[in-house]
Structure 1
């Protein structure tokens, strides 16, 4: 379980509560090789997608991405409507991360992903501002983690 699983569960819980929202998996906005980061492709795609959702009346967005908490300013600027942001960093110890990656990664990529995961976790802990909520995921079930994140947003008390 990780950000994608938690995002999907947040979607399920908000849907069950009748809370209007949308879900965008940010990792898919610029997943290409060679990496197109220097072109701002993720932001451009988010601009287009959010514009479509906003046109249909959506005002709540669940956005999952590995490092988005480092770039909330750029991402919210891409949305173009000065959104209120509740930034959340899901955390796990190295053993938990390795166990989860081993379920997802197959073949020769596992060791590379485990190494990158550890480096990124330490980088995020060092560089992400304290205003970003940290939610531990070790030894917890996805529904409980999702409920904690929803509570941080305050959306469950609001209606569409």
Structure 2
């Protein structure tokens, strides 16, 4: 039996996890490597809800405050062996390349 592995892409609301997740999925798909992307933005469409929702109009301020609290909690509770990828000023392709480099899913993540 094969062992399942999970790659979690996380960050503050609106920083591009969805975009990076799509790009991370593109390379294994091109290499015919079986995988699945579960998009957190749609978890609110499950019942019972897993996600409180996206920032909408009058809810924007409270969503931003919630995002700051969640980021702080994430920083405090993230295991020390977690791979963190710097994203400022980088392309989505470059970020996805580094994220995939933390896995052994593809024969080579170079180039």
The question of a shared fold, defined as TM-score above 0.5 by the shorter chain, is answered with yes
Query: TM-score, normalised to structure 1's length?
Result: 0.48
Q: How big is the shift at 1:130?
A: 0.6
Counterpart-to-counterpart distance in 1, 2:55 and 2:26:
25
Q: Which of 35, 51, 71 in structure 2 is aligned with 1:21? A: 35
How many pairs were matched up? Answer: 92
- Cα distance, 1:18 vs structure 2: 3.0
1:5 aligns with 2:19: yes
Offset of 1:12 from its aligned partner?
1.2
Taking structure 2 as the reference length, what is the TM-score of the superposition? 0.66
Q: Unpaired runs of 5+ in structure 2?
A: 1-14
Instruction: Using the TM superposition, give the Cα deviation of residue 105 of structure 1 relative to its aligned residue in structure 2, in angstroms.
Output: 4.2
Instruction: Report the Cα offset of residue 2 of structure 1.
Output: 1.6
Tell me by how many angstroms 1:27 deviates: 4.7
For 1:109-124, list aligned pairs within 5 A: 109-124=59-74
The CA RMSD over aligned residues, in Å, is 2.8
> In 2, Cα distance between the equivalents of 1:12 and 1:131?
26
Q: Which has the higher strand share?
A: 1
Match of 2:85 among 131, 135, 139: 135
* Residue 131 (structure 1) shift: 1.7
For structure 1, the residue ranges without an aligned partner over 5 or more in a row are: 43-64, 66-103
Please identify which structure carries the higher helix content: 1
